[in-house]
Amino acid sequence: MDKRLFIAETPCKRLDVFLSEQTDEFTRSRIKKLIEDGNVTVGGKITQKAGADIKSGDVVELTVPEAVEYAVKAENIPIDIVYQDEDFAIVNKPKGMTVHIGSGVVEGTLVNALLYALDTLSGIGGVLRPGIVHRIDKDTTGLLVVAKNDKAHVSLASQIAEKTCKRTYYALLEGNVKEERGEIVTDIGRHPTDRLKMSVLPFGQGKVAITRFETVVRFGGDFTLCRFELQTGRTHQIRVHAKYMGHPVAGDPVYGFKKQKLPANGQLLHAWKLELTHPTSGQRMTFTAKLPSDFSEILQKLCAKYQVDTSHLTEIL
C-alpha cells in the first residue's frame, strides 16, 4: 500500500484539483474515485468529497491501494490489433463486441480478448476495465486506443479531455442532411423516462456534448453519408446528436426510425480515424480503419443505385 503526504501551500483549492496538481500518475476521475472510496485524509480525517476546500497548511494524505489482480478472465478471441508498442495498442473493434464487462455481460468483451492478446494493460480503469481509455458502442465498429501502462493511460486520457486526440467517424444517416457542415452543441444525459437511453436535455441538466459534422455524399433524399468529429465523449453522442438533427443513424435500433429502410444489423456508424500524440516520444500519429464489409457493401449498392462516383471514397471503402 502506497501512502503519500502533501502540504497545501495555497488556500481555496478543491481537493481533487489539489491532488491532480501533486501527481501526474492519475487521471482526475481516478483521483475522484480514490477520494470517494475513503483513501484520502485532510488533517487526519477521512474526506470523501472531491470538491472539499483545501486551506493553506492542510496536510493531505493519499493512500493508493495495492493493485488488484484482474477480475476478468482472458479469452482467446481473435481481434484486429492495428498497432501496438510498449505504451498502447490500437484495436479495430468489430460489430457486436462489448468493450468491457457490465450490465450482465461477463465474457466475450474486448477486455477479455485484450487480456489474452496483450502482455500488459494499465490498471487505472479498474479491475473490470483494464486499459480502457475510451469506449465505442457494442454495434459501432472501428478504432479505439488501449493503454498498456498507467503513465500512457494518463497521457491518452488527458489528450481526449483536452481535445488533442482527434476521433473521426463515418455514419450513414436517414434522409437528406441539407447543411454542408456544422457543429452541434447540447447537453446530453439519461432520458427522463427511458433510463436505458440517452437524450438531449436542457442546458444545465446534462453534460455538454459537442459534435462537428460534414456532409460527404447525398443519396437522393433517402440517405446521407456524413463524417463526424467528436469534441467530447458522451455516451451514444453521435447517435443522439444524429437523432437531434432529425436524421438518425441508419440501422440504429435505439434512436432510429421504427421502420428501417436498409438490411443493416445495427447502426451504420464506424470509428474511422484516430490522431494522437505518443505518450513517450511525443510523435504525432494517425491510424485509420476502412469500413467493415456490411457497411461497405450497403454504401457501394447505394452508390450504384444513385450513380455516385466512389473515387473520393477510397479512404473508407
The string of pLDDT tens digits covering residues 232-274 is 989 899 999 999 999 999 999 999 988 888 888 889 999 999 9
**CATH homologous superfamily, domain 166-313:** Pseudouridine synthase (3.30.2350.10)
Ranges for all domains in the chain classified under CATH 3.30.2350.10: 80-161, 166-313
* pLDDT at res. 70: 52
Please state, in angstroms and rounded to a whole number, the distance separating the CA atoms of residues 169 and 166.
10
User: By three-state DSSP, how is residue 180 classified?
Assistant: coil
Q: CB-based burial of residue 63 (10 Å sphere; 0-12 exposed, 13-18 middle, 19+ buried)?
A: middle
Crossing angle for the helix pair 28-36 and 15-22, to the nearest 10 degrees: 120
Catalytic option among 58, 87, 137, 150:
137
pLDDT at residue 37 is higher than 90: no
Q: Which of 63, 172, 213, 69 is nearest to 127 (CA)?
A: 69
* Average pLDDT of the residues in 279-296: 96
pLDDT at residue 11 is higher than 70: no
Highest mean pLDDT: which range of 2-16, 61-75, 90-104, 240-254: 240-254
137 is catalytic: yes
Ranges for all domains in the chain classified under CATH 3.10.290.10: 2-64
Give the pTM: 0.78
Q: Which residue has the higher pLDDT, 131 or 25?
A: 131
* Average pLDDT of the residues in 133-147: 93
pLDDT at residue 281 is higher than 90: yes
* Average pLDDT of the residues in 306-314: 90
What is the gyration radius of the CA atoms in the chain, in angstroms?
22
Cell of 314: 477510397
* pLDDT at res. 19: 84
Q: Give me the half-sphere count of Cα atoms (radius 13 Å) on the Cβ side of residue 61.
A: 12
* pLDDT at res. 178: 94
* pLDDT at res. 258: 81
pLDDT at residue 30 is higher than 70: yes
- Asked if 303 and 317 count as a contact pair (C-beta separation under 8 A), the reply is no
pLDDT at residue 66 is higher than 70: no
pLDDT at residue 71 is higher than 70: no
Q: Which of 31, 313, 61, 19 is nearest to 170 (CA)?
A: 313
* pLDDT at res. 242: 97
CATH code, residues 2-64: 3.10.290.10
- Work out the end-to-end distance of the chain between its first and last CA atoms, rounded to an integer number of angstroms: 51
Q: Which of 117, 80, 75 is nearest to 95 (CA)?
A: 80
Residue 151 CB contacts under 8 Å (≥ 6 apart), including other chains: 25, 87, 279
* pLDDT at res. 105: 64
pLDDT at residue 187 is higher than 90: yes
Please state, in angstroms and rounded to a whole number, the distance separating the CA atoms of residues 150 and 93.
22
Please state, in angstroms and rounded to a whole number, the distance separating the CA atoms of residues 97 and 314.
26
* pLDDT at res. 257: 87
Q: CB-based burial of residue 112 (10 Å sphere; 0-12 exposed, 13-18 middle, 19+ buried)?
A: buried
pLDDT at residue 39 is higher than 90: no
Q: Which of 173, 181, 167, 180 is nearest to 135 (CA)?
A: 167
Fold classified for 80-161: Pseudouridine synthase (3.30.2350)
